């Protein structure tokens, strides 16, 4: 398998092991391992008997055999935690106080999801995931809001009272957050307005690393059922605003910019935003 210790060191170097957890997919690791074995001139033996017994009966030098077993164990424990993937923990999402009890349903809104009837279940993300949108710059299609300032959207204030929200103009509007670096985004949580129960229309959430939102755009949420925004028909459901906000699973999308659209609500044709949080880790 290895002609000498130098050959073994070459194999180790191909594994590209560093001192930080690497969430690379196990299939990719398996492919690299098989490739390394092939280049060494021997395919790994796949059979039911214990790995250690197979190794000890082969002509592989004891040093190489022991080191190979250690590498496999370390990779399994350190990178994949015995096959369950990177360690996940519930996000620490601080909710504002509720402004009303229950979730009244507006029967005039089509495709409206039913209230869960209990607290939203925890959302799990890799260790170290945090809100990277805090105090990041915000731009909008309405640069002169009717009420408030755009920077309030990332100021950490999620309360539903007067003085905590920004009110944009009529009909189609959007806000864009520049995270100022690329991140792997796992969840986006946003609050439009929760002083009273209402539904915002044509909510679309997109992310990209292109400041012009032309290339590499990923749509994470779209409940625009009639294509009013012009980004295609959405299949997601309308929802009633509450103090929990709306949580979107971003599935680790890599991006720098986050954009949210809306087109009025059940109370009026204006657009409001209280806060947007982006839970992510620096992209590798």
Query: Where along the chain do its domains lie?
Result: 5-79, 90-282
Q: Report the pLDDT value the prediction gives residue 67, as an integer from 0 to 100.
A: 54
DSSP tally for the chain: helices H, then strands E: 4, 11
**CATH class of residue range 90-282:** mainly beta
Q: Report the pLDDT value the prediction gives residue 140, as an integer from 0 to 100.
A: 98
Is residue 241 within 8 A of residue 191, CB to CB? The reply is: yes
Dihedral class, residue 115 (left if φ above 0, else alpha if ψ from -120 to 50, else beta) = beta
Instruction: Write phi, then psi, for 126 (nearest 5 degrees).
Output: -60, 150
Q: What is the dihedral of CA 265, 266, 272, 274, to 10 degrees?
A: -120
Q: What is the pTM of this model?
A: 0.71
Give the C-alpha separation, 97 to 215, whole Å: 39
253, with CB counted inside 10 A (0-12, 13-18, 19+), is buried
Q: Coil, strand or helix: which one is 3?
A: coil
Give the helix/strand (H/E) hosting 169.
Answer: strand 166-170
- The alpha carbons of the chain give a radius of gyration, in whole angstroms, of 25
Count CB-CB contacts under 10 A for residue 123: 17
DSSP alpha helix (H) spans, the chain: 5-14, 26-39, 51-57, 62-74
Joined tokens for residue 254: 């890599």
Count CB-CB contacts under 10 A for residue 274: 26
Task: Tell me the mean pLDDT per 10 residues along the chain, length 284.
Answer: 54 49 50 50 46 48 51 45 71 94 85 92 97 98 97 96 95 98 98 95 98 98 97 97 97 98 96 98 94
> Partners of 114 in the beta sheet?
none
In 3D, which of 118, 148, 153, 163 has the Cα closest to residue 133? 153
Joined tokens for residue 121: 């279940």
Joined tokens for residue 215: 């290339």
In 3D, which of 273, 276, 255, 284 has the Cα closest to residue 149? 273
Joined tokens for residue 101: 């009890």
In 3D, which of 225, 207, 227 has the Cα closest to residue 217? 207
Give the C-alpha separation, 52 to 58, whole Å: 10
């Amino acid at each position: 398998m290895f002609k000498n210790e130098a050959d073994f060191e070459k194999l180790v170097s191909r594994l590209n092991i560093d001192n930080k957890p690497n969430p690379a997919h196990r299939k990719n690791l398996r492919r690299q391992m098989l490739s390394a074995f092939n280049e060494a001139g021997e395919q790994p033996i796949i059979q039911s008997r214990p790995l250690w017994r197979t190794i000890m009966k082969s002509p592989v030098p004891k040093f190489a055999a022991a080191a190979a077993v250690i590498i496999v164990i370390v990779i399994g424990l350190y990178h994949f935690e015995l096959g369950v993937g990177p360690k996940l923990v519930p996000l620490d999402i601080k909710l504002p106080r509720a402004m009303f009890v229950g979730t009244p349903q507006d029967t005039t809104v089509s495709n409206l999801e039913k209230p869960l009837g209990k607290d939203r279940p925890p959302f799990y993300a890799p260790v170290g995931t945090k809100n990277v949108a805090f105090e990041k710059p915000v731009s909008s299609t309405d640069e002169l809001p009717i009420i408030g300032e755009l920077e309030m959207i990332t100021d950490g204030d999620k309360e539903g009272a007067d003085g905590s929200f920004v009110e944009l103009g009529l009909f189609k509007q959007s806000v864009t957050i520049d995270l100022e670096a690329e991140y792997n985004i796992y969840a986006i949580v946003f609050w439009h307005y929760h002083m009273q129960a209402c539904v915002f229309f044509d909510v679309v959430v997109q992310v990209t690393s292109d400041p012009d939102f032309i290339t590499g755009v990923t749509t994470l949420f779209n409940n625009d059922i009639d294509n009013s925004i012009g980004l295609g028909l959405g299949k997601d459901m309308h929802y009633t605003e509450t103090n929990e906000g709306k949580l979107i699973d971003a599935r680790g999308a890599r991006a720098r910019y986050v954009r949210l659209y809306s087109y009025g609500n059940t109370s009026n044709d204006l657009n409001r935003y209280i806060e947007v949080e982006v839970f992510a880790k620096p992209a590798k």
